[in-house]
């Protein structure tokens, strides 16, 4: 009788073991190499790159956001001061540049006006001499008409020489004014170039600071739901302080659980088909990025039985534009 009881006990243990194996392979491994898993979304935090003042918070926890949405407005007093100094300096240099250009033009105008007066005096003197020559010429004609036998060859008179000299002086004066004007323009161009280079350097520095200012404001890098807001308006925060955490609308990875030797047969980088457990039409292709330990399956993947299922973790990256829900049960093939 005693031996029968012992044999019955061992038979019960054997049947229980076989039952555990049957349940594990029947309900958790699936058929035709199908395994189960659960989608996972990596919550990402947005932090400050510089210390600053929180001006305005545009979102609240639980709010759905889209990529590019403005979340938080910030400012930095030192940055604002540096921007104001640069803008003032650039404005002053631009003003100096305009003033120098105006000044050199005024000098050129003065030279040309002064030259015009001098040239006018030369021309007036030339006209006066020409008038005297014309009068002398008429008197000479009258005199020679009465004494036709005494005509002498025309000679170059002192008046003609004087006119020629004045014409040469006028031309030389013109050239002098032009040379001085060109020298003024050349010297001014060098000064303006130095100013322009300095302005351009300051503008590049200003662009960098303005880029830093734009980066103070925080924008959503992808669509999701605001999980937590760690700051409040009017708060002064330090660099690298967390500001907001965001939970993506759709998962970015899947944690699968594989039973048996199949997990060892799948290489890193392998492509697997991931589909919704409840909605078979929702499917995507994922890439194996790593393996974990053999562990107990999450409660969502356990069946209503006292027997707990185990499997080796396999981590699968899936495209962001998927239709899965976060924490959704999926099938992996």
- E-strand ranges in 94-251 read 218-219, 224-229, 236-237, 242-248
Q: Which range, of 129-138, 226-235, 259-268, 284-293, averages the lowest pLDDT? A: 129-138
> Between these two residues, 10 and 288, which has the higher pLDDT value?
288
Rounded distance between C-alpha atoms, residue 182 and residue 291, angstroms = 79
Helices (H), 217-323: 262-265
Q: 28-42, 121-135, 143-157, 312-326 — which one is most confidently predicted on average? A: 312-326
Average pLDDT of the chain, as a whole number: 82
172, pLDDT greater than 60: yes
Q: Which residues pair with 226 in a beta bridge?
A: 246
What letter does residue 222 receive in the DSSP assignment? S
DSSP labels for 34-68?
-EEEEEE---EEEE-SS-EEEEEE---TT-EE-TT
- Give the SS3 label for residue 123: helix
- Lowest-confidence segment of 74-83, 134-143, 278-287 by average pLDDT: 134-143
Q: Is the pLDDT of residue 141 over 90?
A: no
Measured CA to CA, the distance from residue 314 to residue 309 in angstroms comes to: 15
Phi, psi (5° rounding) for residue 175? -60, -40
**Residue bearing the bigger pLDDT, 205 or 264:** 205
Mean pLDDT of 56-66: 95
Residue 196 CB partners (closer than 8 Å, separation 6+): 97
- In three-state secondary structure terms, 305 is coil
Q: What gap in Å lies between CA 67 and CA 227, rounded to an integer?
A: 15
If pLDDT is split at 50, 70 and 90, which confidence band does 257 have? very high
Which residues are CB-contacts of 181 (< 8 A; sequence separation ≥ 6)? Answer: 108, 111, 112
- Residue 138 to residue 131: CA distance in whole angstroms: 11
| DSSP summary character for residue 96 | H
Written as six digits, the tokens of 203 are: 């503008």
pLDDT above 80 for 69: yes
Q: What is the pLDDT of residues 294-321, one digit of tens each?
A: 998 888 888 766 678 888 999 999 998 8
pLDDT for 228 equals 95
**CA 300 – CA 318 distance, rounded (Å):** 20
> Would you say how long the chain is, in residues?
333
Round to whole Å and give the CA distance between 226 and 114: 76
- Of all residues in the chain, the percent with pLDDT exceeding 70 is 80
């Amino acid at each position: 009788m005693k031996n029968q009881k012992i044999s019955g006990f061992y038979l019960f243990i054997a049947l229980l073991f076989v039952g555990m194996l049957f349940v594990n392979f029947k309900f958790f491994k699936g058929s035709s190499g199908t395994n189960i898993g659960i989608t996972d979304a990596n919550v990402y935090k947005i932090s400050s790159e510089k210390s600053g003042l929180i001006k305005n918070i545009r979102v609240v926890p639980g709010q759905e956001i889209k990529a590019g949405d403005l979340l938080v407005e910030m400012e930095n007093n030192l940055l604002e001061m540096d921007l104001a100094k640069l803008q003032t300096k650039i404005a002053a240099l631009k003003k100096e540049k305009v003033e120098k250009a105006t000044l050199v033009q005024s000098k050129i105008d003065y030279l040309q006006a002064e030259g015009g007066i001098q040239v006018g005096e030369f021309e007036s003197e030339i006209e006066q001499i020409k008038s005297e020559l014309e009068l002398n010429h008429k008197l000479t004609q009258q005199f020679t008409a009465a004494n036709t036998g005494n005509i002498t060859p025309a000679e170059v008179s002192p008046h003609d020489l004087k006119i020629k000299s004045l014409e040469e002086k006028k031309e030389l004066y013109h050239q002098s004014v032009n040379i001085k004007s060109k020298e003024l323009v050349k010297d001014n161009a060098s000064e303006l170039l130095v100013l322009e280079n300095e302005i351009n350097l300051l503008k590049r520095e200003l662009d960098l600071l303005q880029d830093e200012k734009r980066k103070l404001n925080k924008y959503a890098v992808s669509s999701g739901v605001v999980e937590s807001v760690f700051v409040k308006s009017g708060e002064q925060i330090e660099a690298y302080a967390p500001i907001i955490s965001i939970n993506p609308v759709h998962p970015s990875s899947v944690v699968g659980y594989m039973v048996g030797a199949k997990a060892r047969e799948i290489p890193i980088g392998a492509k697997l088909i991931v589909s919704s457990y409840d909605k078979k039409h929702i499917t995507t292709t994922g890439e194996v990025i790593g393996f974990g330990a053999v562990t107990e399956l999450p409660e969502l993947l356990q069946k209503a039985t006292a027997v707990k299922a185990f499997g080796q973790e396999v981590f699968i990256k899936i495209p962001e534009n998927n239709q899965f829900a976060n924490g959704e049960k999926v099938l992996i093939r």
